[in-house]
Amino acid sequence: MGNRIVMGNSLLFISFFIFSFSFLEAQKAPAVYVFGDSLVDVGNNNYLSLSIEKAILPHYGIDFPTKKPTGRFSNGKNAADLIAENLGLPTSPPYLSLVSKVHNNNKKNVSFLGGVNFASGGAGIFNASDKGFRLYNNGAKKFEIAGVGAIGCCPAYRVKNKTECVSEANDLSVKYNEALQSMLKEWQLENKDISYSYFDTYAAIQDLVHNPASYGFANVKAACCGLGELNAQIPCLPISSICSNRKDHIFWDAFHPTEAAARIFVDEIFNGPSKYISPINMEQLLAI
């Protein structure tokens, strides 16, 4: 019954990542539960021995408060950190770090009540419909959904096209987002007690790419950290070249945004205009 009550007052952030916010009294969200891939991984991937891609070596974390790699695929904080920051909360710890404590008989310092991060690099895109229905059946009623970004504009794809974003990859993103939005509308029609906010990640990235100066960016093509053309042919490693001003770049490595870009996305999620958010933004959703 206790879990049912918490989920009944929760907000879920779905697509590449899910944020589940539990609500108590006047607080917006005293705990954050995160599901997703490397975009919001805060260290789970560190515990996966078979994972090839890692973010525990320099230059990852160069702008994080500790100035050290943490397992985040970023130069600093990622969207999970910034969502929590906007709510005045600490970042939810990686789930596998808590499991490790349990295995080491250190249960005294383990608690899931303050929030948990289940995201991991390499997790991929899960079945949003299936997971959403399962969460709803457990009492979740509020959902914050992020669409897929302009994948073809990532340095890893752009390097294959030399000059522009790869349209074939972007077309797949558009088709996915159209299907996702259609599913959400049908879902809400079938379940009148659901409220949701959709963030158009694709449009937001396209705006940064085509109007970089408006957001303070100077380089929209190359990764800040990596090797080869556009710093995108070899991953970010200790031997990689690194840009001197990370705030100039949209992309940190071949796939992931810099902290500067992530901050813009999270600000738009909370307070964004209608061209990125529908039917309401996260601030409005939290207030319901």
CA gap 267, 218 in Å, rounded: 20
For residue 252, give the amino acid letter. Answer: W
Which residues have C-beta within 8 Å of that of residue 209, sequence separation ≥ 6? Answer: 150, 153, 165, 220, 250
Beta bridge partners of residue 277, listed in sequence order: 199
Active site residues: 38, 253, 256
Beta strands in 80-192 (DSSP E): 115-117, 142-146
Helix (H, G, I), strand (E, B) or coil at 214: helix
For residue 210, give the amino acid letter. Answer: H
8 Å CB contact between 43 and 127: no
Nearest to 55 by CA among 67, 42, 71: 71
Max Cα–Cα distance, the chain, nearest Å: 56
Q: What is the 3-state secondary structure (H, E, C) of 112-125?
A: CCCEEECCCCCCCC
Which residues have C-beta within 8 Å of that of residue 147, sequence separation ≥ 6? Answer: 15, 173, 176, 177, 180, 181, 198, 199, 200, 201, 202
8 Å CB contact between 123 and 132: no
For residue 192, give the amino acid letter. Answer: K
